[in-house]
A and B are shown apart, each in its own frame.
Chain A
Amino acid sequence: MERKIRVVVAKPGLDGHDRGAKIVARALRDAGMEVIYTGLHQTPEQIVETAIQEDADAVGISLLSGAHMTLVPRIMELLRESGAEDVLVVLGGTIPEDDAAELKRRGVAAVFGPGAPTTDIVDFLRGAVAA
């Protein structure tokens, strides 16, 4: 049997907005992926540890607190330090365009803003993880 895509959906920082993260987690699970949702208020260290322990193909980070320019680069850095730079990092939330562009330059695979259909996220992960 083909291995299922394994995705960690994570809420870093103190942000309690979890509507989007839960919808995405559910949509990915319904699309046949193995989903691990970290729950709220995670430190970058906790998220990276979960990603490694779960042998994740991708980490989906949801952030609506404005702390993305601090927390996302920190997660990328910790993944690199742990030799897990092959884990795909995908970001969702209220991320201004300039910040999204900058984070992509730093290795974030995709940024999905408000209104992004879950089908786009599913399709992206299928394409990017298979590749």
Chain B
Amino acid sequence: MTRPQGTGELRSTISGVENEPLYSPENVEIDVERDLGRPGAFPFTRGVYESMYRGRLWTMRQFAGFGTAEETNERFRYLLEHGQTGLSTAFDMPTLMGYDSDHPRSLGEVGREGVAIDSLADMETLFEGIPLGEVSTSMTINGPAAMLLAFYACVGEEQGVPLGALRGTVQTDILKEYIAQKEWIFPPEPSMRLVVDMIEWCSRELPLMHPVSISGYHIREAGSTAAQELAFTLADGFAYVEACIARGLDVDSFAPRLSFFFNAHLDFFEEIAKYRAARRIWATRMRDTYGAKDPRSLLMRFHTQTAGVSLTAQQPEVNIVRTAVEALAAVLGGTQSLHTNSFDEALALPTENAVRLALRTQQVIAHETGVVNTADPLGGSYYLEHLTSELERQAHDYFDRIERLGGVIPAIEQNFQQREIAEASFRYQGEVERGERIVVGLNRYELAEEPPVEILRIDPALEAKQIERVRAVRERRDAGSVEAVLRRLEADAMSDANLMPAIMDAARAYATLGEMCDTLRRVWGTWRETPVF
């Protein structure tokens, strides 16, 4: 390993890619036309749009959600008032796992890490006073993505907004749940069917919705390297494309609506290289392997969130600086939307002040730094182009290894991705503990006394309030129609039918999320991993 003289500090990237002291033309074996092209042209290494941020800034989209739908609705309105341009919903753990708030497994978890949504009634409250025809909404939901999308579509219907006018993104990326985030419900095969059902249904009914956001963010947060984030995410993306093609869908009918979600970690150039490599790999594979003809099918558009895992609980104000650097990397890497973490998030969910500061960080980058004036301003840098090619090479290595294991799902079942991430995560922890990686305020420049920080407290009474809400919904709805829609859902799940129409009907009848998921659990069973460490 390379170390600077006189210190024990590593000089490789944070992911362990070796760095030379200097890069020159001889380090970079690229053909400018073939490997870089121009922004907005194949292979899109330099960006998906010709004018990039001159044409339009990225969407500033702060992820928010806590307590019940009422508290989160207030936070949404606050963010819109302060210049945010898109909404992003964080759901609580019971919602992510498909349990109602009054389920025994939900005890103590309701509204803690996101907003609790049990039925259409909660979704109506969540978006009260927010015209769905005028905002784009992202929903971080995977196992029960289909149900939450249905709730959202029903709120649109109630507001008189045509389904075709609803814009946003549903995360829906179940593969990375098995790999990293670990909020799953069903086993991989039926989960994949549900994803394809959503993609197929959206391409017909909600053409402006991104039905899946193929996510590396959580893979990185689980401790992966940049190359693993890149490789496992793209491999998941290819798996979705292949599943849709196997369903008989034309690649150009759905590929333009696939979107991605990456992490922005601290190793500045490595991150920028990662985004550029991702675009090049995706465009090439979509064209050459899957035969996509529509140019929009080749475009990798992505959301970025700064790295929660890079934040420290020690001297948390320093996190403002980390987040700014990470956000700048995302912008220089050509992101389409961005969430900047708040400085207090290693301690708790963010306070309103901390969130505003995080949003202001993006606004400074957008309006004060000048980096938006030129597309891919770092393109052609010997170092950056070398790193871009190197990450691409490492990703292809991983694609080959996954292929040899039989594909993404067999690799997951053999714990391949999980083990690779655990190894990388443990290696990094060791580097920090040995002082080979300096983390300011944590293992260097520490304070003897940490000043107190004000944190957001979630009122424990909200759990009881939410339990009351879901019980009241069950009381006032028509029990007979709920039974009928759930029976239909069960029958459809046992057939080859697309499940979205049945889920929409169930949502309209105020069937709860837990009831719909329980119905499908009976048909499909649940997933349990054999953990490795």
Contacts and interface: CB of A to CB of B under 8 A. Distances in A.
Interface of A: 13-19, 21-23, 25-27, 29, 35, 37-41, 43, 65-67, 69-71, 94, 96-97, 113-115, 117-119
Contact of A39 (B112, B223, B442, B531): B531
Given A65-B93, A66-B458, A37 B533 contact: yes
B172 to A, nearest CB: 16
B518 to A, nearest CB: 16
Contacts of B346: 94, 114-115
Given A70-B107, A96-B348, A115-B314, A19 B222 contact: yes
A71 B183 contact: no
Contact of A118 (B97, B108, B433): B433
A115 B455 contact: no
Nearest to A15: B93
A40 B529 contact: yes
Given A14-B183, A94-B348, A115 B313 contact: yes
A29 B528 CA distance: 23
B113 A65 contact: yes
15 contacts: A13-B109, A22-B425, A23-B429, A26-B422, A26-B533, A27-B429, A39-B528, A39-B530, A41-B182, A66-B458, A70-B107, A70-B109, A113-B313, A114-B313, A115-B439
A40 B425 contact: no
Contacts of A71: 107-108
Kindly state the interface size class of chain B when it binds its partner: 35 or more
Contacts of A25: 533
A97 B109 CA distance: 19
Interface in B190-235: 221-223
B57 interface: no
Nearest to B312: A115
B347 interface: yes
Nearest to B218: A16
Nearest to A25: B533
Contacts of A117: 433
Contacts of A113: 313
Contact of B422 (A14, A22, A94): A22
Given A94-B347, A113-B313, A115-B312, A26 B433 contact: no
A75 to B, nearest CB: 11
Contacts of A13: 93, 105, 108-109
B425 A23 contact: yes
Contacts of A37: 531, 533
A66 B347 CA distance: 10
A16 B348 contact: no
A21 B101 CA distance: 26
Interface in B281-339: 309, 311-314
Nearest to A113: B313
A100 B355 CA distance: 25
Contacts of A40: 182, 529, 531
B531 A14 contact: no
Contact of A22 (B181, B347, B426): B426
Interface in B33-84: none
A21 B418 CA distance: 14
B108 A69 contact: yes
Given A13-B93, A14-B93, A16-B181, A26 B426 contact: yes
Nearest to B314: A115
Contacts of B112: 65-67
Nearest to A21: B533
A69 B529 CA distance: 26
Interface string B438-482: 010010000000001001001010000000000000000000000
Nearest to A117: B433
B94 interface: yes
A37 B533 CA distance: 8
A43 B433 contact: no
A50 B229 CA distance: 34
Contacts of A14: 93-94, 96-97, 99, 105-106, 109, 183
Contacts of A96: 347-348, 455
